[in-house]
């Protein structure tokens, strides 16, 4: 079946449908990962977006339940050059087309994804629609210019209720961490469990008072989708927690932390999405390759009026990748410190968080 991708610039790309049929609307973004398409599909940080994979062959090792980062695909639509028809892997349970169809996600294949990536890099993130109704498809162009992108997406992906997860190692010495779920990936939770954290995961709208009643040793601010300025309730909660417990934020949580302390954020031209972003620790000068998925960043200039200072920087565009509070045990990074998908060399950040919590607990006990 034929399908079309229509961009707000007026560009129309024709291809073939795979997955569900119908229409899908959202922001068109690109991911540079060569593998990890299943993690991309199921990452809640992609809620509201249609993802173009720049690597030309997608789906060649199929889909399995082990690598899911949430209960279902979260993307609005999926754009690939070629979708593998006969994938092969010992863990494979189904192919990518069947997965998308069962989840109601519209996909398009057979288009020049690298040309599409160049368009996004030139114009910035664009609103678009994938449709299997290709007759009179040009009528979508004026509609796209006035159509609003999905909003309030954190509410849609955050957990509706509190749940707990045990530490996988060091159970007798485990620290208790409350995780504010703005759209967290399962792999991040697992990495924290393996770091010796006993977790209580709470909805994004949980108040500071409710969190303190859980008696945590620290608070973790998770990744998630959308504009951080739309998550006012999360910013308010963070403000109520400052100085009461150690805090570690990543991705969206990193942005929310800066907003809570008086900083500002801005929408990037095309964001960072992939597993190959080079980040430098400004103190040690060490460079790590990181997994990232975000379209907003912290304004470095705005930090001059806050108690935060820059600790990490992106070596591609010099954007802020990490901040730390000058006095409180509070820090954050823009990237994902685990490997789902991507490198695992940033796992040391969980060790730093554990050290802060142990020091706080020792000081509190004395």
Active site residues: 251, 336, 338
Cα distance between residue 271 and residue 190, in whole Å: 26
The pair of structure tokens assigned to 242 is: 């400052």
For residue 72, count other CB atoms closer than 10 A to its CB.
13
Cα distance between residue 18 and residue 22, in whole Å: 11
Q: Is the peptide bond before 341 cis (omega within 30 degrees of 0)?
A: yes
Q: Which of 322, 332, 330 is nearest to 283 (CA)?
A: 322
Considering only CA atoms, give the Rg of the chain.
21
Cα distance between residue 78 and residue 156, in whole Å: 19
Report DSSP letters for 310-339, one per residue: EEEEETTT--EEEEEESSSSEEEESSBSS-
Cα distance between residue 71 and residue 49, in whole Å: 17
138, exposed or middle or buried, with CB in 10 Å at 0-12, 13-18, 19+?
A: exposed
For 269-283, give one letter per residue: b (16+ CB within 10 A) or e: ebbbbbbebebbbee
């Amino acid at each position: 079946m034929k399908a079309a991708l229509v961009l707000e610039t007026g560009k129309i790309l024709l291809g073939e449908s795979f997955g569900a049929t119908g229409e899908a609307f959202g922001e068109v973004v690109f991911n540079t990962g060569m593998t990890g398409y299943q993690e991309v599909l199921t990452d809640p940080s992609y809620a509201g977006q249609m993802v173009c994979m720049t690597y030309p062959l997608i789906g060649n090792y199929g889909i399995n339940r082990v690598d899911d980062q949430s209960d279902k695909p979260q993307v609005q639509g999926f754009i690939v050059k070629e979708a593998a028809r006969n994938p092969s892997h010992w863990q494979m349970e189904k192919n990518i087309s069947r997965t998308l169809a069962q989840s109601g996600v519209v996909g398009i294949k057979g288009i020049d994804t690298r040309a599409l990536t160049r368009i996004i890099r030139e114009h910035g993130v664009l609103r678009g629609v994938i449709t299997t109704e290709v007759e009179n498809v040009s009528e979508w162009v004026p509609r796209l210019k006035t159509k609003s992108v999905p909003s309030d997406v954190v509410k849609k992906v955050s957990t509706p209720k509190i749940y707990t997860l045990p530490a996988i190692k060091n159970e007798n010495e485990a620290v208790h961490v409350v995780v504010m779920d703005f759209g967290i990936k399962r792999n991040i939770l697992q990495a924290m469990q393996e770091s010796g954290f006993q977790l209580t995961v709470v909805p994004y709208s949980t108040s500071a008072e409710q969190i303190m009643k859980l008696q945590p040793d620290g608070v973790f601010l998770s990744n998630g989708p959308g504009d951080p300025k739309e998550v006012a309730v999360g910013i308010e909660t963070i403000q109520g927690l400052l100085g009461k417990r150690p805090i570690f934020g990543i991705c969206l949580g990193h942005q929310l932390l800066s907003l809570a302390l008086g900083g500002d954020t801005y929408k990037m031209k095309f964001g960072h999405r992939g597993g190959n972003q080079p980040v430098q620790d400004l103190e040690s000068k060490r460079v790590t390759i990181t997994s990232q998925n975000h379209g907003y960043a912290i304004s470095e200039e705005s930090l001059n009026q806050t108690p935060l200072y820059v600790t990490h920087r992106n070596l591609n565009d010099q954007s802020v990748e990490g901040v730390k509070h000058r006095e409180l045990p509070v820090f954050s990074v823009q990237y994902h410190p685990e490997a789902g998908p991507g490198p695992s060399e940033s796992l040391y950040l969980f060790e730093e968080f554990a050290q802060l919590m142990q020091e706080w607990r020792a000081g509190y006990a004395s």
